[in-house]
Amino acid sequence: MSPRRIPVDSTVIAPRPGATRRLHLHAAGVSVVLDVTDGRIPAIAHWGAELGELGPAGLDAVCEAAVDPVPHNAVDVPVRSGLLPQQSDGWIGRPGLSGSRPDGSGWVPRLVTGGIELDGHPLSRAHTETGAATVRFALADEEQGLEVDLEVQLLPTGLLRLRAALTNTGATPYALDELTLALPVPAEAEELLDFAGRWTRERTPQRRDFTVGTHLRENRRGRTGADAAHVLHAGQTGFGFRDGEVWGVHTAFSGNHRHLAEQISTGHRVLGGGELLLPGEVRIDPGAQYRGPWLYASYGEGLDAVASRFHRHLRAREHHVDRRRPVTLNVWEAVYFDHDLARLTDLADRAAALGVERYVLDDGWFGSRRDDSSGLGDWVVSREVWPDGLGPLIDHVTERSMEFGLWVEPEMVSEDSEVARAHPEWILGPSPAALPLESRHQQVLNLTIPEAFAHVRDQMMALLDEYDIGSLKWDHNRDLLEAATRSTGRAAMHEQTLAAYRLMDELRAAHPGLEIESCSSGGARVDLAVLERTDRVWVSDCIDPLERQQMNRWTAQLIPLELMGSHIASGRSHTTGRLHTLSFRAHSALFGHLGIEWDLAEASEEELAELRAWIDLYRERRELLFRGDLVRADRGESPLWLQGVISPERDEALFSLSAVGRTATSQDAHLRFPGLDPSATYRLRPLLIGERPSNLIPPPWLERALEEDGLALPGAVLVRSGLTAPLLDPEQGLLFSLVRETDPAPVP
């Protein structure tokens, strides 16, 4: 549904010389100052730390102080980097709006502001200060027949988001090439951080200087991508988790998209993002509208503060998940395609005895799907493998107080399938005679074709209607190449993404309470748009605990721990071949939505007892993990990573110390526990489950804490001076519980 349009001919504010409208929005330690001068396109004069109540004079001063001098050999007015940058404002960088009419006109719009609303009411005052609010600007170029509804929201968490909708008011179609929003950042933002990666190595951080030119991250995979930018940050040189001003943006779209950081020769710097449109993909007919995705923007002192705004926003949603995230068993690495009722019910019995609360049947239950080469698109239970249907297994699972979950891949199709043989025209491809290269032996079903959409929806609905299915593991195992409707050759990626959203929405509307996991060959569809429809993401197909240390650490830069699937795998990693102790596997999985990906029939009694202890710890601490604030210690190049979750009241915390490599010297830097209350006293207790970490050499304080009931330590010591780090072998870990004490204790 298109957003309501603000009348462009509104008399609330008319573009005339001298007319100004200046707004100050502030919430949760963030201020955003918006400036509309002479009806020009809105610009941000300040996005950053809280400014306090400014008053009209102060608000004018902030806006005027943001205006640059006019250099020689430049346009004769100060250059403006508006929220939708355009050449008519002197902007010589990437334009925010790009497109054209059939005759070639319309490619240089001159948008002006013709109406402003604040929280749904016309804005008439020249100066306005308020808290969290929604501002909508009606922009228009009457000569070119273009209108833009620009929506800017400062949320109660201090998170900023904006989006734009373009309406064609002209007499001919408008071919849209790009609609990219941009936010200015100050000259102090000298360094960039975003992410790269690949399958089984998602969210790999990369840094570079913020120099003249464009750092452009375009994703053309048809899904968010294992190598997506994730969050694009700009900050003060050397910024870390706890220090340095940082500005970050995230494009909330699950198809082709872009992030960019651009500095032009005048010194202006912006961060931006939007959907990446393929040639001819969006043609806006007269009277029609295109609405772009939300661009989220987070500011804070350090990366933890930036992440915290995203986390608090997600947790504030009405449909956010319950904190009692169920311990999950997924059977993929236990049975793969070998589905046998006796074996699967035995796994269910073993799981229930451990305290598992959700049981997920993975790939191989439908059609001709005995391996990964056929059957996708035929979402009917295989009578060959399941002669009595899935009912016997589901009944067995639910009778043991576990929820049943099922793996599906609704957007994909095998060429060797009943549906592909009956309807080859339903497969995305460049022409009737050609198909894209196969990937993982599969193609993509064109959900923009109503009959293809109905086929998938109705088969999914039939499963959910017949069986007691509480969750779907929704996979998406290939990139989209040559994603066009075969009969026309026209690009279909934009509409395919919207159709996937619509499919999820319809299934959830018909089955309230259904949870969906975004599993896209691991972590290739992780973004805030898909998370409006899903309840967790599968961080990676790699469950190697050493690799997961990095991937979980940086996935959490956008989403909180309860939305991150984090499983304990078998001793030998399926994707890397490494061997790890159960202690380190569980240690790495604990900070997330805990699960198991292991053939429990192969576990020893000692392993099962230890696994049960880890599950008990998770169930005991998940309320803290999923309501508390994530903190990550800045430790330079140290391979000892320290992170924790602290309750909002700062009276309880759980910290993890992980050795991801060997230290360069025999003694590492002190451990400082960020985020605790320096004025409080905490009892620190090491938590050892299973075998003692290999070659652990504890310093005296840790030796005492292990022998006694922990240590009572002043918060100032923990936060500021720190504790001597223990010596640990690589790929080992320690947990520390901290609880505030009422009575102070002396420094030992």
Cβ atoms of 280 and 491 closer than 8 Å: yes
Rounded CA gap, 115 and 112, in Å?
9
Cβ atoms of 613 and 354 closer than 8 Å: no
Q: Where are the alpha helices (DSSP H) in 12-136?
A: 55-65
Rounded CA gap, 395 and 402, in Å?
10
Query: Directed axis angle between helix 582-589 and helix 545-555, to 10°?
Result: 10
Cβ atoms of 113 and 23 closer than 8 Å: no
- C-alpha distances out from residue 114 to 20, 46, 95, 156, 411, Å: 12, 22, 20, 28, 42
For residue 243, give the DSSP letter. Answer: S
Tokens of 178: 């790009």
Rounded CA gap, 15 and 667, in Å?
66
SS3 at position 394: helix
Rounded CA gap, 625 and 647, in Å?
8
Using left for φ > 0, alpha for ψ between -120 and 50, and beta otherwise, residue 587 falls in alpha
Q: Tokens 């049943």 label which residue?
A: 404
- Residue 274 identity: G
Q: Sheet of 681-687: strands edge to edge?
A: 629-632, 640-646, 652-659, 732-741, 681-687, 711-714
Q: Tokens 């009912």 label which residue?
A: 391
Tokens of 715: 């918060």
Q: Tell me the sheet residues that pair with 439.
A: 442
Q: 37 φ, ψ to 5°? A: -120, 130
Cβ atoms of 665 and 675 closer than 8 Å: no
Rounded CA gap, 443 and 436, in Å?
8
Tokens of 728: 């640990």
Q: Is 475 a catalytic residue?
A: yes
Tokens of 529: 């748009």
Nearest by Cα to 233 from 253, 212, 261: 261
SS3 at position 183: strand
Q: Of residues 89, 227, 535, 541, which has the active-site annotation?
A: 541
Nearest by Cα to 203 from 677, 526, 561: 526
Q: Tokens 């240390």 label which residue?
A: 549
Rounded CA gap, 281 and 176, in Å?
8
Cβ-based burial of 146 (10 A; exposed 0-12, middle 13-18, buried ≥19): buried
Q: Taking the CA atoms of 298, 299, 302 and 308 in sequence, report the sign of the dihedral they define.
A: negative
Q: Of residues 304, 363, 378, 475, which has the active-site annotation?
A: 475
Q: Is 651 a catalytic residue?
A: no
Strands (E), 383-448: 403-408, 412-413, 443-444
| Angle, CA of 317, 320 and 324, to the nearest 5° | 145
Q: Hey, which residues are catalytic here?
A: 475, 541
